[in-house]
Amino acid sequence: MNYLYDGSFEGFLTCVHEHFYSAAAGRIARFQENGTDDTESAFQEDMFSEVLNIKTDQQKADKVSDAIKCKMWSRESERIYTAFRSDLPDKEMSLLRYIILGFRRGSQIRLLHTHPDVMPVEQAERKLSCEVHRLCGLIRFSAIEKNILYSKISPDNEVLEFLAPHFIERFHSDPFIIHDEDRNKALFAYDRKWHLADFTAADAEHIKITHSEEEYRALWRRYFEIMPIKERINPKCQRGLMPARYWKNLTEMSIT
């Protein structure tokens, strides 16, 4: 039996519930971004198995979440959620195998670092956490209309909600937007409260930076040009601390 769900974490947990209480999951895949039930692309390797559309059920999701905390370890619930938000390939099935192992081995799972069902999940969690830490220093904000701060990012993982605590603490009551342009989502925050919402490139086109912001950008670019000691420039070290994939959204790296 193959499961098709809506892409939410609660929907995934509902699939896990179905795996244990109904039919074992051959594969789990999410609906396409356009909302269509594209079973052909979702299950190319298993075209002859039955596909079941799973409707998210909060009660079933809560039951699985409680079981993870009870049978495994409370920390594992956080790890599974973090890995779910990562770019781990075929993450639904990787996490399902991780949960099955955890239900068998209990709290011992936190010691099985080299187990083939544990290693990918731990690595995915670590990768997302490292990207969040890195972006906390690399995100550049611009002043737009109504004194709102705006930033555009293209992260490897779904990091917006993990960035929220750091920048809320940093900006306190100042409103800000962090736009994940690859996933068409944005983090909106004001007065220590935040939420995620759809935010497309078309929406971003309406954002206009202030004239003073343009001047600050020019000053920052000029500072970045003249301050380095030319003899000590180390491109390899720079790319290690500030990977090139982030450069397109860094003011100082878009020198004109």
End-to-end C-alpha distance for the chain, whole angstroms: 55
Domain boundary among 88, 105, 128: 128
What does each C-alpha distance from 164 to 15, 138, 193, 220 come to in angstroms?
28, 15, 9, 25
Q: Which residue has the higher pLDDT, 172 or 189?
A: 189
Tell me how crowded residue 227 is: count the other CB atoms within 10 A of its CB.
Answer: 7
The two beta strands, 51-53 and 148-153, are unpaired
Cβ proximity of 86 and 124 under 8 Å = yes
**Which residue range is the domain that position 117 belongs to?**
2-128
Least confidently predicted of 44-53, 154-163, 187-196, 203-212? 44-53
Would you state the structure tokens that stand for residue 89, as one six-digit string?
């390939």
* Residue 1 in this model has a pLDDT that exceeds 90: no
Which range (48-52, 66-70, 134-138, 177-181) has the least confidence?
48-52
Are 195 and 235 members of one domain? yes
Residue 134 covered by a domain:
no
> In the prediction, which pLDDT does 32 show?
65
Q: Is the pLDDT of residue 128 over 90?
A: yes
Range with lowest mean pLDDT among 51-60, 98-107, 128-137, 238-247: 238-247
**Do 7 and 117 belong to one domain?**
yes
In a domain, 52, yes or no: yes
User: Does position 48 have pLDDT exceeding 70, yes or no?
Assistant: no
Average pLDDT over residues 189-212: 93
Question: What kind and span of H or E run contains 38?
Answer: none
**Residue 244 forms part of a structural domain:** yes
Whole-angstrom distance, CA of residue 230 vs CA of residue 142 = 28
* 8-42 pLDDT, tens digit each: 999 999 999 999 999 888 899 998 654 444 444 55
**DSSP H or E run through 235:** helix 235-241
Domain end position, chosen among 128, 161, 178: 128
Quick one: what percent of the chain has pLDDT higher than 90?
A: 66
Q: Do 50 and 120 belong to one domain?
A: yes
Q: Are residues 181 and 107 in the same domain?
A: no
50-96: pLDDT as tens digits: 889 999 999 999 999 999 999 998 889 999 999 999 999 999 999 99
With 0-12 CB in 10 A as exposed, 13-18 as middle and 19+ as buried, what is 33? exposed
Q: Phi first, then psi: give them for residue 144, nearest 5 degrees.
A: -120, -170
For 33-37, 99-103, 174-178, 215-219, which range has the lowest pLDDT when averaged over its residues? 33-37
